[in-house]
Amino acid sequence: MQNIIMSVIENTSDYLINLNAIQEDALLSFESCLNSISERVLHLLHQDSLGLHLNSKENQLSKNEEDLHSLIEINQKLRHDIEFKIKDLKIQQTQYDNFKQEQKILSNEIKETHEAYLRAKKYLKKHLKFFFTISETNDTADQVIFVQFFTEARKESECYSVKLSRNIKSQKYTLLNINPELKISKDIQRLLQEDNCVPGVLSCIREAFRVLKDDKGK
C-alpha cells in the first residue's frame, strides 16, 4: 500500500513538473509573439508616420504651388491694369496738350482780333469822327447802341445821333431814335427789319446827316 501511495506521489510530482514546464514554455512563446507583434506595430506606425509626413510635405508643396499661381495671376492683372492706366494717361496728356495748344492759338486770335478792333475803332473815330457806346437794359435782354456822328466825344445835345436796340437772343436790331428826325427814318426801319444790316443803315444815316449838316452850313 505504501508503495502505491509513493508511486502516486511520484507520478503527481512528475505531472506538476511537466505542467510548470509547459506553462514556462507557453509564457516564453507568448512573450516572443508579443515582442514580434510589438515590433511590427512599431514598424507600421513608423511607416505611417513617414507617410503622413510625406503627405504633409506634398500638401504643403501643392498649396505653395497654388499660392504661387495665384500670385502670378494677380501680378499679371496688375501689370495689365498699370499698362492700361499708362496708356489712358498718355491719351489724356495728349488731349490736354492739344487743348493747351488750341487755347493758346485761340487766345492769340482773340488778342489779335481785339487789337485790330481797337485800331479800326481809333481809325474810324479819327477819320469818320463818330462816338458810340453799347449798354444793356436791366428789364429786357436787349442792348442799346448809341452812335453820334461828327464827333469823337459824346455831346450833350445828342445832335446827329441814332439809337438802336439789339436783341441778344435773336440778334435783331430795331431803330429807337434818330436825332434830328430824317425823312428816310421809315425806310431805315424797314431795311433793319428786312436785312438787319446795321453797317448799311449807319452809312445811310451818316450820309443823310452830312447832307443836312452841309445845308445848315450854307
pLDDT tens across 185-216, in order?
Answer: 999 999 898 999 888 899 899 999 999 888 87
Helices of type H across the chain: 2-127, 185-195, 198-217
State the residue for C-alpha cell 495671376: 73
CA atoms within 13 A on the CB side of 164: 26
- Residues forming beta bridges with residue 136, ordered by sequence position: 143
* 204 and 176 Cβ atoms separated by less than 8 Å: no
> Confidence band (pLDDT; 50, 70, 90) for 118?
confident
Judged by average pLDDT, the poorest of 14-18, 21-25, 145-149 is 14-18
How much of the chain, in percent, has pLDDT values that exceed 70? 66
For residue 17, pLDDT over 50 is answered with no
AA identity, residue 129 = K
Quote the CA–CA distance of 194 and 171 in Å, as a whole number: 13
For residue 129, pLDDT over 60 is answered with yes
> Confidence band (pLDDT; 50, 70, 90) for 132?
confident
Q: Using CA atoms in the order 47, 52, 56, 61, what is the torsion angle rounded to 10 degrees?
A: 40
For residue 6, pLDDT over 70 is answered with no
For residue 2, the model assigns a pLDDT of 43
Helix (H, G, I), strand (E, B), or coil: what is residue 132? strand
Q: What is the mean pLDDT of the chain?
A: 77
Q: Which residue has the higher pLDDT, 39 or 16?
A: 39
For residue 162, pLDDT over 90 is answered with yes
AA identity, residue 116 = A
For residue 156, the model assigns a pLDDT of 82
For residue 78, pLDDT over 80 is answered with yes
Whole-model pTM: value is 0.46
Q: Using CA atoms in the order 123, 124, 128, 133, what is the torsion angle rounded to 10 degrees?
A: -140
> Confidence band (pLDDT; 50, 70, 90) for 144?
very high
Which of 43-57, 117-131, 183-197: highest mean pLDDT? Answer: 183-197
Please, what are the domains in the chain?
131-217 (3.30.457.50)
Judged by average pLDDT, the poorest of 3-12, 52-61, 100-109, 122-131 is 3-12
Judged by average pLDDT, the poorest of 23-27, 89-93, 166-170 is 23-27
Helix (H, G, I), strand (E, B), or coil: what is residue 157? coil
Whole-Å CA distances, 167 to 17, 143, 175, 189, 207 = 144, 6, 12, 15, 26
